[in-house]
Structure 1
Amino acid sequence: MALEKLTSYLDEKGIKYVVVRHSKAFTAQEVAASAHIPGKEMVKTVMVKVDDDIKMFVLPSTHDVDFEAIKDTFDAENVELASESEFEDMFPDCEIGAMPPFGNLFDMDTYVAEVLTEDEKIAFNAGTHKEVVKMNYKDFEDLVNPEIVPIAVRAMS
């Protein structure tokens, strides 16, 4: 259902994209490997509790959330990963952990890691752990109008 909602939205806006089906995978790195997508193009949607507000952050799969940077950016006291039970109702058509990075489709703001803006193409979960959508980053930015913030650090290998 989430994939249909997303592709209908992209079709309505005249956006070019590709849907890639792959074997079931859960982490962004597993999805990238399963779908044969470079890790730097694969993005992950991370739900973070900033004080008592749940926010959607989007960053490359090769990076981790920088909680201190989020504290500074939002002048927050407490920043932590949101638990699945805290956000599962916000994405009724999606499998937990497979939400597409389109906060605008779920009535929430979207925050994108500054480093992601360097990518020409991005790929992301399309609401399931078996489907990925690939599209131009610029089209994503035009549709979602995210706030660009410095909230990611390169993951340690």
Structure 2
Amino acid sequence: MLMPRRLECHLDMKQVPYSMIFHAPADSAQMAASAMHLPGKEVAKAVALQAGGREILAVLPACYRINFEKLSAIVGEPVRLMDEEGFSELFADCERGVISPFGELYGVPVYLDEALAEDPEIILSAGTHLDCVRMGSADFVHLAEPHVCSFAAKR
């Protein structure tokens, strides 16, 4: 499967410079980082969450974990993981099990951990188990308009 057309059109329409990175099949961002021979801190993972009755996305380094207490305080209500059925419906144009970090395309607010925002580049899932998008972190912030905050901790 190729990058969802919706994402490709969005990046091209916004004239965001990006490059594609193809890798061996990976079921997680950390596995993708390993397949690309990169440290997990350089690759973003997106986690679909429920906050009250709405969906949100947490985007953090692949080798970090969410501090749910911190994120709940930031969001202003309890946050919990969304089940795979829920996020598969939400991200229907992505491969099953893949969560797009581009929440703006799905009407989902994005919370970006500041550890990723501080890096000059960000590597994100392109909506498949086989490829990622590399772009400037500032470009991702401009596109996704995330809430940049500190909610992740090293494993």
Normalising to structure 2: TM-score of the pair? 0.91
Counterpart of 1:94 in structure 2 is 94
Q: Aligned with 1:140: secondary structure?
A: helix
Counterpart of 1:4 in structure 2 is 5
Q: Aligned with 2:123: secondary structure?
A: strand
Q: Aligned with 1:58: secondary structure?
A: strand
Q: Aligned with 1:97: secondary structure?
A: coil
| Structure 2: gaps (5+ residues) | none
Counterpart of 1:152 in structure 2 is 152
Asked whether 1:133 is paired with 2:133, we answer yes
Normalising to structure 1: TM-score of the pair? 0.90
Asked whether 1:123 is paired with 2:123, we answer yes
Counterpart of 2:111 in structure 1 is 111
The one-letter amino acid of 2:146's match is P
State the distance in 2 between where 1:105 and 1:2 align: 14
State the distance in 1 between where 2:75 and 2:108 align: 16
Structure 1 residues 108, 152: closer, same or farther in 2, change over 3 A?
Answer: same
Any conservation in 2 of the 1:99–1:126 contact (CA below 8 Å)? no
Q: Aligned with 1:116: secondary structure?
A: helix
State the distance in 1 between where 2:66 and 2:7 align: 25
1:24-82 C-alpha deviation (Å, 9 max, x unpaired) = 11111110111233321100000112233221110111210110002211232x32211
Counterpart of 2:40 in structure 1 is 39
Q: What is the Cα deviation at residue 150 of structure 1? A: 1.8
Structure 1 residues 28, 96: closer, same or farther in 2, change over 3 A?
Answer: same
The one-letter amino acid of 2:127's match is G
State the identity %: 34
Any conservation in 2 of the 1:123–1:134 contact (CA below 8 Å)? yes
Q: Aligned with 2:134: secondary structure?
A: strand
State the distance in 2 between where 1:56 and 1:14 align: 24
Any conservation in 2 of the 1:22–1:34 contact (CA below 8 Å)? yes
State the distance in 2 between where 1:66 and 1:97 align: 22
Q: How do 1:15-54 and structure 2 match up within 5 A?
A: 15-54=16-55
Q: Aligned with 1:96: secondary structure?
A: coil
The one-letter amino acid of 2:85's match is S
State the distance in 1 between where 2:76 and 2:5 align: 37
Any conservation in 1 of the 2:70–2:151 contact (CA below 8 Å)? yes
Any conservation in 2 of the 1:44–1:101 contact (CA below 8 Å)? yes
User: CA-atom RMSD, angstroms?
Assistant: 1.5
